[in-house]
């Protein structure tokens, strides 16, 4: 396995609610399945911290389990719910992020 891909990348493993977001420190903040466990207040605080920590022109990339606006949710519990995870609509995340001043784009950052 090649390990040099990690060079220049800082990785943090902690509770999102406990992270001390440094001021304008990152060109990129990446999160994968980090919001679905959080309350609305915790998400708002996380967004504010992420925004504060991004350098001018920086990017926030989030991968979250989402439902489309037209999705029909069955009564049956999904395995994700057994883990305590909430599956929310993409529109909710979009509105929350825009209210914090983020600009949402589907632009591909790399080709």
- pLDDT per residue rounded down to tens, the chain (111 residues): 567 777 878 888 888 889 999 999 999 999 888 888 888 999 999 999 999 999 999 999 998 877 666 665 555 555 555 555 566 777 888 899 999 999 988 766 555
The per-residue pLDDT for 5 is 72
**50 within 8 A of 29, measured Cβ to Cβ:** yes
Side-chain-side CA neighbours of 2 within 13 Å: the count stands at 3
This model's pTM is above 0.85: no
56, containing H or E segment: strand 54-63
**54 within 8 A of 60, measured Cβ to Cβ:** yes
The per-residue pLDDT for 71 is 61
Q: Using the structure block, give the residue that is written with the tokens 């925004």.
A: 51
In this structure, the strands spanning 88-89 and 66-67 are parallel
């Amino acid at each position: 396995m090649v390990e040099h891909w990690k060079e220049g990348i800082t990785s943090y493993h902690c509770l999102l609610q406990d992270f001390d977001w440094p001021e304008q420190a990152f060109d990129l903040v990446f999160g994968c399945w980090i919001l679905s466990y959080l309350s609305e207040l915790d998400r708002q605080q996380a967004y504010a911290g992420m925004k504060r920590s991004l350098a001018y022109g920086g990017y926030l990339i989030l991968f979250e389990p989402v439902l489309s606006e037209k999705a029909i949710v069955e009564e049956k519990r999904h395995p994700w719910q057994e883990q305590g995870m909430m599956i929310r609509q993409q529109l909710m995340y979009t509105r929350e992020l825009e209210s914090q001043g983020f600009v949402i784009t589907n632009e591909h950052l790399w080709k």
